[in-house]
Amino acid sequence: MEKSSDRIVIAGGGIIGCAIAYYLGLKGVKSTVIERRDVGCEASSAAAGGLWPQAESSRPGMFMDLCLAGNAMFEELSRQLELDIEFRPSGLLHVVEDEQYREEAEKLMEWQLDSGLKVDWLDASETLKLEPSLSEDVMGSLYFPDDNHLNPLSLTRAFAVGAKKLGAEISTGTSVTGIKTVSGRVSSLVTDRGEIGADIIINAAGCWAGQVGAMVDMEVPVEPVRGQIILSEPLPPLFKRCIVTRDVYIIQKPRGNVVVGSTREFVGYDKSVTPEAIHLLHRGAVKAIPRLKSVSFIRAWAGLRPYTPDEIPIMGASDGPEGFLLATGHFRNGILLSAITGKLMSELITDGKASIPLEGYRLSRFLRGAEVERK
Amino acid sequence: MNELIICRCEEVTKDEILEAIGAGAISINAIKRLTRAGMGLCQGKICCRLLSLLLSDELKTPLGELEPYSVRPPVRPVKFSALIADEE
């Protein structure tokens, strides 16, 4: 598909755009990333960095397999990337507080064990033995030893720095304003700072993918979903594993700060923080870990995650102009899927075929009449 | 070498700030994401002004034209218990 003379331009300098530029660079292919503001300034920096393919999945299948493949890349990547991405093989405890939730947890455990994944049911005393700071009201927990966490800001930056070293150009403070085509092929990307000739354009604009798609008359059904997060002052080690309850997730980061997230709000492009959400997150955190009650919280912030109707990303070729590709709509899985998306997109561009088929991620699944199935 | 500490909470030096600006940071928010300056206990209450001045100098841009710094709530650290006091 790709010829050595092909000029590749990526619209969007978030974690997905930077990862694609990085993996293209590893294959000796240069690209240009166009970013409206700064690298990773939207959804990429409104994440806690949880890598949770198992705890956050609801059923086996194509998407689950992609999440697992993505997760498996980080251990090696943390050695390969020049910057410290604060990857921690921590494991995760999915805390169960009532009988109904326990039934759901048992179903989750059953199909995951059938799929050959590692997951264990711990009763109350085993749970508290593993994480003594948890509330004694806990009924039990599902333990996922392979669900981990890292620092999403550092990972985005590491992809950007790595990509630049491998020859990519990253233009920050540059807005995409149009796309030109010649006889059904993309020919250039127009920005507020000039026009860039392009043979391949990748729409990696996250929540703004719809706007970029509209430039080639393409409807990309991505919409922003706000997530609010709070952060505590740095504390001595209080717990080691990621903690997930019905209400919140809680991670203690390597510097000692505790992150609590997150909400899921359809409020358009509004990144404000609300007292209601802050309250909800505090209540959820203190319920799970009572000792957090006497801790100070120092920051609350919000970001917009690119949601698609089936909560599965849109990746690969489009039915639009030749050379126009998509890698967007990663919703709450952008950090987890960053590396695998970069790898697969770079394979698609250089070899014409990705090592994991991307057919199921095509935009065309949303065409009228197509059946949309939730993950 | 300029090891002068600009952000005391996260111990970020002037060199690191200048490096971030050199790497393409065009706002205090970008410097924050690159270096953690302003992400510590005081949340930039102390260093925000210094960061603005450095950025303004380096980019040769008047202070008023820089992207405003995102001040995150709360303005002072607040206990978790204070936020759920009505349920006690």
Task: Render pLDDT for A53-65 as a digit per residue (tens, 0 to 9).
Answer: 999 888 999 999 9
User: How close A59 gets to chain B, by Cα (Å)?
Assistant: 35
Residues of B in contact with A297 (CB under 8 A): 74, 77-80, 83
When CB atoms are compared, the residue of A279, A298, A299 closest to B83 is A279
Give me the torsion for CA of A291, A292, A293, A299, rounded to 10°: 170
Written as one letter, the residue type at B23 is A
Residues of A in contact with B34 (CB under 8 A): 157
Interchain pair B33, A157: CB under 8 A: yes
Residues 15-44 of B with CB under 8 A from A: 23-27, 29-30, 33-34, 39-41, 43
In angstroms, the CA A84 to CA A157 distance is 10
Interchain pair A38, B39: CB under 8 A: no
Residue A368: the pLDDT is 62
Residue B71: the pLDDT is 80
Partners of B53 in the beta sheet?
Answer: none
Structure tokens at B10: 């996260």
Interchain pair B83, A297: CB under 8 A: yes
Domain that holds residue B9: 5-87
Q: For chain A, where are the alpha helices, taking DSSP H only?
A: 15-26, 62-71, 74-80, 99-114, 124-130, 152-165, 209-214, 275-288, 338-351
SS3 A44: helix
Residue B87: the pLDDT is 65
CATH number of the domain located at residue range(s) A8-47+153-221+310-366 in this protein: 3.50.50.60
Written as one letter, the residue type at A145 is P
Taking alpha carbons only, the member of A48, A32, A6, A34 closest to residue A301 is A48
- What are the two backbone dihedrals, phi and then psi, of residue A318, each rounded to the nearest 5 degrees? -115, 175
Whether the bond into A357 is cis, omega within 30 of 0: no
Domain locations along chain A: 8-47+153-221+310-366, 91-145+224-307
Residue B67: the pLDDT is 87
Residues of A in contact with B81 (CB under 8 A): 286, 293-294
- Please give the full DSSP string across A59-86, using - where no structure is assigned: S-SHHHHHHHHHHTTHHHHHHHSSS---
Low-confidence ranges of chain A (pLDDT < 50): 1-2, 375
The mean pLDDT of chain A is 94
Residues of B in contact with A294 (CB under 8 A): 79-81
In angstroms, the CA A272 to CA A267 distance is 10
CATH H-level superfamily of A91-145+224-307? D-Amino Acid Oxidase, subunit A, domain 2 (3.30.9.10)
Q: For chain B, where are the alpha helices, taking DSSP H only?
A: 14-22, 28-35, 48-59, 80-83
Residue A3: the pLDDT is 53
A165 touches chain B (CB under 8 A): no
- What are the two backbone dihedrals, phi and then psi, of residue A37, each rounded to the nearest 5 degrees? -115, -105
- CATH number for position B32: 1.10.10.1100
Residue B75: the pLDDT is 73
Mention every residue, 6+ apart, whose C-beta is less than 8 A from residue A197: A7, A187, A188
Residue A100: the pLDDT is 87
Helices and strands, number each (H, E), in chain B: 4, 3
Question: Could you give the number of structural domains in chain B?
Answer: 1
ipTM of the complex: 0.77
Degrees, nearest 5: CA angle A51-A54-A59:
135
- Please give the full DSSP string across A319-375, using - where no structure is assigned: SSSBTEEEEE--GGGTTTTHHHHHHHHHHHHHHSS-SS--GGG-GGGGSTTPPP---
Residues of A in contact with B24 (CB under 8 A): 38-39, 170, 172
Residue B84: the pLDDT is 81
Task: Render pLDDT for B29-85 as a digit per residue (tens, 0 to 9).
Answer: 999 999 999 999 888 988 999 999 999 999 999 988 888 888 888 877 778 887 787
Strand order across the beta sheet in which A169-171 lies: A169-171, A32-34, A8-11, A200-203, A324-328, A314-317
* Same fold flag, A8-47+153-221+310-366 and A91-145+224-307: no
Residue B32: the pLDDT is 93
Interchain pair B72, A301: CB under 8 A: yes
Whether the bond into A262 is cis, omega within 30 of 0: yes
Residue A361: the pLDDT is 97
